[in-house]
Amino acid sequence: MDLYELLGVSSTAGLDEIKRAYRRLARRYHPDINPGDRTAAVRFRAVADAYEVLIDPDRRRDYDVLGSGAVVIEAAATFGFDGFDFSVHAADGSAASTFGDLFADVIQDAVSGPAEAAAPGADLYLTVSIAFEEAVRGVDTTLTVVRRDACHGCKGRGVQSVAEATCPSCRGAGTVRTSRGHMMFTKTCGRCQGSGLLRHAICGACGGLGVEPRSETTTLTIPAGVNPGEQIRVRGLGHAGTRGAAPGDLYVTVEVTPHALFRREGDDLHLTVPVALHEAALGARFEIPTLDGPARLRVPPGTQSGQRFRLRDRGVPSPRKATRGDLIVEIRIVLPSVLDQRSRELLHEFGQINTEDVRAGLW
């Protein structure tokens, strides 16, 4: 099989992509995860061989140019030999196994190495929506997080202690013997690490990873003055790391529902207030809404549409400073929708008395 197809990558894949593919397949087919599964073991050996070739620039170049015939896998470990026969032909008259076939198990042990090391947990990302007033004042909200947590059965170790028993793979010898072609090999038993005894077993609940999915409810404190779209980081509430490694973090993005009256700009709040024509001309005092309750606003005589008034410390608390923004009130003059005859006469008389050209100097 093509080595690139074996790892599930393209022939132009970079080293990082090849490493990620190998780690994913190694976790899936490793003998410790699939005890007694001969098919998984064969697949694991093939994946390891392909990985060793493709991460070596020289060997990968030879493979790309000349194909699989150019690839030679060298043994990097020493193993014992119980006996061998380099006869040219086998008893049935067929050609004897090649050197590469004879040393397939040796080669695998050299390149596969131990099971993948513990990996830190991945980060989690959630979005929470709160009301405008809650963003200004702060709020505690309840979140339900589905995450991979440390396995309860093995406490995150991936293995469980069992009653000491003779290793079934080596039958207590601590070594196993395998034959390839006309040769016999003796090597340390990988299941019991040469002790001949089994004291631990792969955790059945988590398959040896040390983590399992779990739904968890937690309370998140959103500070007063949080900005829309801001992220809040909760350390250690992401996915648990495999085999006891550190967990990831939880990142919560805060969405804020718009308010019907107020608009936020930084730490300031903006409010548009309708004012009648006579109020703007003669001046008035009236109540306006704020997030802290009603407040009185004085509009002086001659107030123009679009004019702004500032109410100090009626805005949003700053989450980073011990200050608070202001409330900016913008005046919008509203004309009466229907005028009776008397009102028309008064406005006409007002226009005759006040002859100032309000557009003078504009164009």
On whether residue 245 sits in a domain, the answer given is yes
Its domain, for residue 307, covers 263-353
Residue whose token pair is 């040469």: 194
218 and 93, same structural domain?
Answer: no
On whether residue 66 sits in a domain, the answer given is yes
pLDDT of res. 103: 43
127 and 16, same structural domain?
Answer: no
Return the CATH number at 55: 1.10.287.110
Rounded Cα–Cα distance for residues 132 and 148 (Å): 33
Last residue of a domain, one of 77, 112, 147: 112
Q: Please tell me the total count of domains within the chain.
A: 3
On whether residue 59 sits in a domain, the answer given is yes
On whether residue 173 sits in a domain, the answer given is no
On whether residue 187 sits in a domain, the answer given is no
Element at 241 (helix H, strand E)? none
Burial of 284 (0-12, 13-18, 19+ CB in 10 A): middle
On whether residue 131 sits in a domain, the answer given is yes
127 and 248, same structural domain?
Answer: yes
221 and 294, same structural domain?
Answer: no
pLDDT of res. 84: 40
Last residue of a domain, one of 97, 112, 127: 112
pLDDT of res. 357: 84
103 and 87, same structural domain?
Answer: yes
219 and 128, same structural domain?
Answer: yes
251 and 124, same structural domain?
Answer: yes
On whether residue 32 sits in a domain, the answer given is yes
267 and 251, same structural domain?
Answer: no
21 and 131, same structural domain?
Answer: no
Return the CATH number at 238: 2.60.260.20
Rounded Cα–Cα distance for residues 207 and 153 (Å): 11
Last residue of a domain, one of 229, 258, 287: 258
Rounded Cα–Cα distance for residues 24 and 42 (Å): 16
Cβ(292)–Cβ(314) under 8 Å? yes
341 and 323, same structural domain?
Answer: yes
* Short-list 169, 168, 156, CA closest to 208: 156
pLDDT of res. 182: 59
**For residue range 80-119, what is the model confidence (pLDDT) as tens digits?**
334 443 333 333 444 343 444 444 444 444 334 444 567 8
126 and 103, same structural domain?
Answer: no
- In sign, the C-alpha dihedral spanning 83, 87, 92, 98 is positive
On whether residue 305 sits in a domain, the answer given is yes
Q: For residue 209, how many other CB atoms are within 10 A of its CB? A: 23
Q: Which positions of the chain have pLDDT values less than 70?
A: 1, 66-117, 156, 179-183, 205, 207
pLDDT of res. 180: 62
268 and 254, same structural domain?
Answer: no
